[in-house]
Structures are given as structure tokens and as C-alpha cells.
């Protein structure tokens, strides 16, 4: 017979950051345990571990603007346990970013989650990128921001190098060529080129034509 702590472990992080999902997570854990524990036993264990009170439902006539939906890319097609584990970690990331409207570095996020090690860093880096692509959070290439907080992208060294690179050749460059030219063609640094081009495009300095980046004339 499984220990009840093993049954609820993949749901605890979600409840810790979003207590209003307690009822749904209790039902999900109950479905996973195949009747080994009652739904009341699971609820009691979750409340004890997370140390929360059952949520109070408040009716409101206000319509709130919702952020884009948080998605689990890695676990698509895999088990529900994998799905809840990924969603639990992404939910924890989201909670941290939401508490830092002035932005927070990736290393600080990993430190707060106690995941700043060789095993977790590649996976957390990939999840952060997915969350940016899904518009759940924002980044300026250095810090991460809540999805609804406006921020001013400051000119950085990477922006300057990209812009100067595009002026050295007629016909423009592909992103790979730019990354090689500015010596950012591997791992994390390549992503900075991608984000830098997006920033410069949004500010009207560059544009992409037939997969080649050029100055805006």
C-alpha cells in the first residue's frame, strides 16, 4: 500500500501557490490512488501538509482579464503524474515572477525554488522559455516579468552588437549568422540573440524579410 504522502506530493506545490484549487487537486489525487485512500483522508493530508484552510468561494460580478493559459509541454502525451509535476513547477515559477513586478533573474528564481543545480537548470530554463513563448510571463532577455506588467527594454550590449552587425552587410543575416557574428551561438546566449531581435523589431529598428534580418529603412 502506498504512503499517502506519495499520492499527494505531485499536487502539493499547485495547492501551495493556488489554494483555490484544493478541491480539484483532492479529486485528482483520489483518482490517482485507485481507492487506497478515501477522499476525506486525502483532503486532510493535503491541508495538513500545505497548512491552508479550505477556500472560501466569493461571488463577484466583476470580469477580470485572464492571463494566457499555463501549459505543460514536456508532459504532453505522458502520464498524468508527469503532467502534474510539470504544472506544479511552472505554477511555482509563475508565483515567484508575479511577486517581482520589477523583474527577477533566472538564477534568483532557481535559488528560491532550490533548483539551481546541474540536474534542474536545463529543464527549468526550457520551461521558462516555454512560458515566455506562451505569453504567461515576459522577459527582456535578462529578467522575467509578470505577463501584465509593462516594462521598458533598456539598450544592452547584445542589442548594440546585433544592430551594428546588421549594418555590415547588404541583404541582411539569418539569426544563426547573427549569433555567430556576435559570438552568441550556443545555449543560453543564442536565446539572448532571439530575444534581442524581438526587442529591436518591436522598437522598429529591425525587420525580418525572407528569414533574413535587416535594418528598417
Q: Please tell me the distance from the alpha carbon of residue 78 to that of residue 8, in angstroms, as a whole number.
A: 19
Q: Please tell me the distance from the alpha carbon of residue 211 to that of residue 188, in angstroms, as a whole number.
A: 21
Q: pLDDT value at position 174?
A: 92
pLDDT along the chain (217 residues), means of 10: 74 70 80 80 80 42 59 70 84 90 86 87 88 86 81 64 85 90 76 82 83 83
Give the angle subtended at the CA of 110 by the CAs of 109 and 112, to the nearest 5°.
65
Q: Please tell me the distance from the alpha carbon of residue 54 to that of residue 47, in angstroms, as a whole number.
A: 8
pTM: 0.46
* Domain annotation for the chain: domains and CATH numbers: 4-50 (no CATH), 80-146 (1.10.10), 157-215 (1.10.10.10)
Amino acid at each position: 500500500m502506498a504512503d499517502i504522502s506519495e499520492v499527494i506530493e505531485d499536487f502539493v506545490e499547485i495547492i501551495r501557490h493556488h489554494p483555490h484549487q484544493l478541491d480539484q487537486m483532492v479529486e485528482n489525487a483520489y483518482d490517482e490512488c485507485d481507492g487506497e485512500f478515501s477522499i476525506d483522508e486525502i483532503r486532510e493530508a493535503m491541508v495538513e501538509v500545505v497548512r491552508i484552510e479550505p477556500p472560501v468561494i466569493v461571488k463577484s460580478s466583476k470580469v477580470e482579464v485572464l492571463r494566457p493559459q499555463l501549459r505543460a509541454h514536456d508532459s504532453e502525451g505522458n502520464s498524468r503524474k508527469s503532467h502534474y509535476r510539470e504544472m506544479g513547477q511552472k505554477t511555482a515559477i509563475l508565483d515567484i515572477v508575479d511577486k517581482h513586478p520589477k523583474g527577477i533573474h533566472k538564477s534568483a528564481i532557481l535559488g528560491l525554488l532550490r533548483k539551481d543545480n546541474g540536474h534542474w537548470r536545463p529543464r527549468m530554463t526550457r520551461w521558462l522559455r516555454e512560458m515566455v513563448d506562451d505569453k504567461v510571463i515576459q522577459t527582456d532577455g535578462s529578467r522575467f516579468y509578470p505577463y501584465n506588467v509593462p516594462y521598458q527594454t533598456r539598450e544592452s550590449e547584445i542589442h548594440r552588437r546585433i544592430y551594428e552587425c546588421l549594418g555590415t552587410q547588404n541583404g541582411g543575416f539569418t539569426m544563426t549568422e547573427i549569433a555567430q557574428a556576435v559570438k552568441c551561438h550556443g545555449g543560453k546566449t543564442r536565446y539572448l540573440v532571439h530575444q534581442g531581435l524581438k526587442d529591436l523589431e518591436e522598437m522598429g529598428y529591425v525587420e525580418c524579410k525572407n528569414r533574413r534580418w535587416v535594418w528598417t529603412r
